[in-house]
Amino acid sequence: MQAWHAWGKILKLPAVEIPPPFDKMMNAAAPRTENATDAASLRILLVEDDPISLILAKELLSKVLGHTVFTASNGQQALALAMEILPHIVVTDWMMPVMNGLELTRSLRATEWGQNLYYYADWHRR
């Protein structure tokens, strides 16, 4: 769990104790993209309807921190993409068209593998 708290500090996100352990998440059987050659690279699903915020967050997570980042502009797109890529972490905006961040989180949590995801939702931005 120390690694999760370290990631929280790096990403400037609040890290709380959420099962399962972080090492279990990192060792989960899921396909890696060809760009993710570093074993420490995470698959992050970034969901944001504001194009500027999406670009800035993606650049930080991928170029600066070296993670594989997949993006969607609403919860419905994100849900379909999540089923395909099986991300380690979902970072989502709350207020979005089509399906908001809360609905996305509930939908993912309803799946067996979605219960093992780490989520960060920007609930207070708007």
Q: Cβ distance 105 to 92 under 8 Å? A: yes
Cα-Cα-Cα-Cα dihedral of 24, 27, 29, 31, to 10°?
130
CA distance 102 to 106: 6
Q: What is the pLDDT of residues 58-98, one digit of tens each?
A: 999 999 899 999 999 998 999 999 989 999 999 998 888 88
- Residues 6+ positions from 64 with CB-CB distance below 8 Å: none
Q: Quick check: helix, strand or coil at residue 35?
A: coil
The structural domains of the chain, ordered by start, are: 37-122 (3.40.50.2300)
User: H helices within the chain, ranges in order?
Assistant: 2-11, 22-26, 51-59, 75-85, 101-109
State what percent of residues in the chain have pLDDT above 70.
67
In this prediction, residue 33 has a pLDDT band, given cuts at 50, 70 and 90, of very low
Q: Is the pTM of this model over 0.75?
A: no
For residue 112, pLDDT over 90 is answered with no
In this prediction, residue 120 has a pLDDT band, given cuts at 50, 70 and 90, of confident
